Structures are given as structure tokens and as C-alpha cells.
Amino acid sequence: MKVLEEILQECELLAFDLNFSRAKQWKSEDPKRIIVGYLPIYVPREIIHAANGISVGIMGSGDRKQIIKGDAYYQSYICHLPRGIIEMALDNNLDGFDGFLFPAICDCVRNLSGMFKLSKKGKFQRYFDYPQNFDPNIGGTFYKQEIGKVIDDMFAINGIKITSEAINHSIGLYNKNRFLIEKIYEIRQAAPWKLTAVETYYILRAGQVIPVEEHNEILEQVVSHLQNERGEPMDNIRIVVSGSFCEQPPIGLIKSIELAGCYIVEDDFMLGSRWIQGDINATTDNPLEALADAYINQSTFSSAYYDVGNPKGKRLVKLSKERDADGIIFCAASFCDPALLDRPEMQKECDLAGIPHINFQFHENTGQFKVIKEQAGTFSDSIKLWA
């Protein structure tokens, strides 16, 4: 077993490898393998795995790439994520990808799917529509049809007909992946000092770009390491970060929050990996139905998911209580309509529940964290003072 520090270093490199070298290397080992890139937040990666593919999360270029060409494609009042992705596409970072999935989370991602179509990037470019009707016979059927289209797209490339057994096997692997990730969150729940939020971030983000089997191994090793003592408890407050489910905050921002005296005990940074809560049935004759049921009944709350009847503000409050959090930091990308339009009502729910909160806006390439650190520090101090 590798030492934890070594694992963390590797994960950091993988997480920010904008050339996606490991996925490309994996593909090169077998001509029938394919790479399917997907944007935040969620796609059922199980079907890509079952089709002899690797799903690669394209989480943006963050602060690791200078944006020159991408800016010529986007007005200043559009969030940063898509311009970074265009830059990557124009710089050939995404060469070797066979297809791209653009989940239905907002109109920027939706229209980006059209931009990829116009520029003929990859062999398919598909907007992946989430049903917003949660009746299994209506929304569930629609969801299965959406999955069916992706299966056809992949079949057209490698001719691999996916079987129920193959999907069940893939579901099993991703169940394990989700289980281990939650395990890490549970360990951090009891002892957040054992693994910082930044380290957790590296580990989860690495999982977006490598085979799930390899990620499961990493997770198992991390869980095992975390059985031992690591770090020292500090007089920090416990907080939930909400609103960063798509464009990712720069590492400097997450670090600044931690350095300001906050343990981030819950977040939505890599929400796609944690979207389905609990296991998906991996022993059925109809695995597509199992995936659809999971989407309908086991999805976490998110700005991309119609929430009337089960408002996300209330779910955030519940989550925050479960995590024993002292406060919530709303941390959304600038110009992100989905996150920012959810914020006022979510804040109202926090007020009703007596949960303190503050909010920031960021760009993925924000380089200045002084103000954020000060704000988070004041937040932390005020909670400590009044708790």
C-alpha cells in the first residue's frame, strides 16, 4: 500500500491533468475502448463503463490554463467554465475523446453542446436531458430513452453491444465507488482534521479522469489510512459549502476557507460522484430501469433538479444538521443562474432554521483570496463567539 502523502500527490496531478493522459493511455491499450467526456453535474457513468468506455469529467480549466481563445467565444457576462472548455478543445486537450455529454443543468452547458456540434468535436456531442417529471412511467421512461441514445452513440463507435450483465457489473463498481466516497465523508464527519477539504477534493476529482477500478483502489487505501490518527484537531467551526456544483472554485479558495478556521464537512464540489445516494440495484434483469429508478428516487438535491414538493433549502438544512455544521457558505460561480437563483430561498430556509450563512461569488480562475479569507475568518470568529 502506498503512503497517504504519495496517493494525495498522485491524485493532485491526475485531478489537474488537463490533457487527461491516464484516460488516453487507458484507451490506447485496446482499439475498442472509448473515451466519453462529460460536463458537470451528473451522467450515469455506469453505461459508459459497460460499453468499454471511460467517462471523463471535464470540470473546467480552473486556474491552470490561460484563457485566450475561449474569451473570444463568450461575452463577459457568461460564467467562466465554458470558455475554459472551449480553450481546451481548441488547444487539442480533448483530442482522442470519442464523444461528449452535456447534462441538462443550464443553458450555457446546453448551448455549449451545440458549439461542439458545430465544430464537430468528437464523434458525438449529446445534450443529456434530465427528466423533470418524476413519475417512473413518464420521467423514468424518458430517462431510459435518453440513456438509450447514448448507448447507440457509443455502439456506433466501437460496435460493443452492452448486456445487462455488463451494466450490472458496472453498477456494482460505481456502488462501491460511491460507498467509499461516503465513507471518507463519514470519517471526516467525526474527525475532519484527518483529511483536509483540499485533499478530499484531489481524491474525488482524480476519480473523474481514471478508470473506476483504479479509483476504487485509491479510495480503499485512503479509507484504510484514515483508520489511523492524522493531524491535530483545531478550534475550527464546521461548515457546509453549497453552490459550487459546476464551475469549480480554485484550490486557493478552498484553502482560504480552511485557513480561516473552517472545517468543510460537506460540499457539492464533485456532486456528480455523489449524485445517487446509496446503492443502485446491481442484480436486476433490467438495469436501465434500475438506473432510472435511482435517478428518480435517490438523486441528491441540486440546482439542476426541479424541487417543488421537496425544496432544496429544506434539504440543505437537513444535510447541515446531519453534518452537525455550524454554518453554511454559499459559494457560487459568478453569472451562474442556477446556483444564484436558488440562493435567496435557500438562505431563507437557513434563517428559519437559525443556521448562520455567508456568501461568495468566484470565477474558477480567481487569484485573489484575501477578501474571502477575511470574510470566512470573521464568519468563523462570530460563530465561535456566539455559539
Partner 1 sequence: MSKEQHEAIKENSMLIQKEMLAKQFKELSTATELGKKVVYTFVPGNLTELILSFDMLPVYPEINALQSGMRKKSADYIRDAEKIGYSEDVCTYVKCDIGMMLNGNIGPTGEKLPPPDLLLLSYTGCFTFLKWFENLERLYPGVPVAMLHTPYQEDGKISQDQVDYMVKQMNEEVIPKMEMVSGKKFDLERLSKMLVNSAKAEDLLVKVLESAKHVPSPIDAYFAGVYYIGPIFTAFRGTEEAVEYYTELWKEVQERMRLGLGPITPEGELKEEKFRLVVEGPPNWTNFREFWKIFYDMGAVIVASSYTKVGGVYDQGFRHDPNAPLESLAKYCMGVYTNLNLPQRVDLLEKYVEEYKADGFLINSIKSCNSFSAGQLMIMREIEQRSGVPVGFIESDLVDPRYFSYANIKNRLESYFQMLGQRKIIMKQVEAEI
* Residues that bind partner 1 in the complex, under the rule CB under 8 A: 72-75, 77-78, 82, 104-108, 110-115, 117-119, 126-127, 129, 131-133, 135, 137-139, 141-142, 145, 149, 303, 306-308, 311, 332, 334-338, 340-345, 347-348, 361
- Fill in the per-residue mask, 236 to 255: x = in contact with ligand SF4 (CB under 6 A), - = not in contact: ----------xx--------
The nearer residue to partner 1, 82 or 287, going by C-beta atoms, is 82
List the grid coordinates of 198.
Answer: 483540499
Nearest approach, Cβ of residue 177 and partner 1 (Å): 28
For ligand SF4, the binding residues in 330-349 under the rule CB under 6 A are 333, 336-339
Torsion of CA 374, 375, 378, 380, to 10 degrees: -110
Is residue 268 near ligand SF4 by the rule CB under 6 A? no
Pick from partner 1, ligand SF4, none: which does 217 bind, CB < 5 to 8 A by kind?
A: none
In sequence order, what DSSP letters do the residues of 181-250 get, joined into one string?
HHHHHHHHHH-GGGS-HHHHHHHHHHTTTS-HHHHHHHHHHHHHHTTS--S---S-EEEEEES-SSSPPP
- Fill in the per-residue mask, 67 to 86: x = in contact with ligand SF4 (CB under 6 A), - = not in contact: ------------x-xx----
Percentages (nearest 5) of helix, strand, coil residues in the chain: 50, 10, 35
Q: Minimal CA–CA distance to 99: which of 146, 50, 145, 158?
A: 158
Pick from partner 1, ligand SF4, none: which does 246 bind, CB < 5 to 8 A by kind?
A: ligand SF4
Of the listed pieces 27-35, 103-111, 119-127, 199-207, which binds ligand SF4 according to CB under 6 A? 103-111
Report how far residue 41's alpha carbon sits from residue 321's, in angstroms, rounded to the nearest whole number: 24
Pick from ligand SF4, partner 1, none: which does 141 bind, CB < 5 to 8 A by kind?
A: partner 1
Pick from partner 1, ligand SF4, none: which does 188 bind, CB < 5 to 8 A by kind?
A: none
Report how far residue 93's alpha carbon sits from residue 84's, in angstroms, rounded to the nearest whole number: 11
Pick from ligand SF4, partner 1, none: which does 308 bind, CB < 5 to 8 A by kind?
A: partner 1
Helix (H, G, I), strand (E, B) or coil at 30: coil
Pick from ligand SF4, partner 1, none: which does 163 bind, CB < 5 to 8 A by kind?
A: none
Report how far residue 58's alpha carbon sits from residue 50's, in angstroms, rounded to the nearest whole number: 20
The nearer residue to ligand SF4, 86 or 358, going by C-beta atoms, is 86
Report how far residue 300's alpha carbon sits from residue 222's, in angstroms, rounded to the nearest whole number: 24
Report how far residue 37's alpha carbon sits from residue 344's, in angstroms, rounded to the nearest whole number: 33
Is residue 109 near ligand SF4 by the rule CB under 6 A? yes
Pick from partner 1, ligand SF4, none: which does 182 bind, CB < 5 to 8 A by kind?
A: none
User: Within 13 Å, how many C-alpha atoms sit on residue 216's CB side?
Assistant: 13
Task: Report the chain's terminal Cα–Cα distance, integer Å.
Answer: 42
Report how far residue 153's alpha carbon sits from residue 251's, in angstroms, rounded to the nearest whole number: 35
The nearer residue to partner 1, 16 or 128, going by C-beta atoms, is 128
Nearest approach, Cβ of residue 99 and ligand SF4 (Å): 19
Nearest approach, Cβ of residue 363 and partner 1 (Å): 11
The nearer residue to partner 1, 47 or 187, going by C-beta atoms, is 47
Number of residues that bind ligand SF4 (CB under 6 A): 14
Rounded (5°) CA angle 337-57-366: 50
Q: What is the DSSP letter of 72?
A: G
The residues of the shown chain that bind ligand SF4, judged by CB under 6 A, are 79, 81-82, 105-106, 108-109, 246-247, 333, 336-339
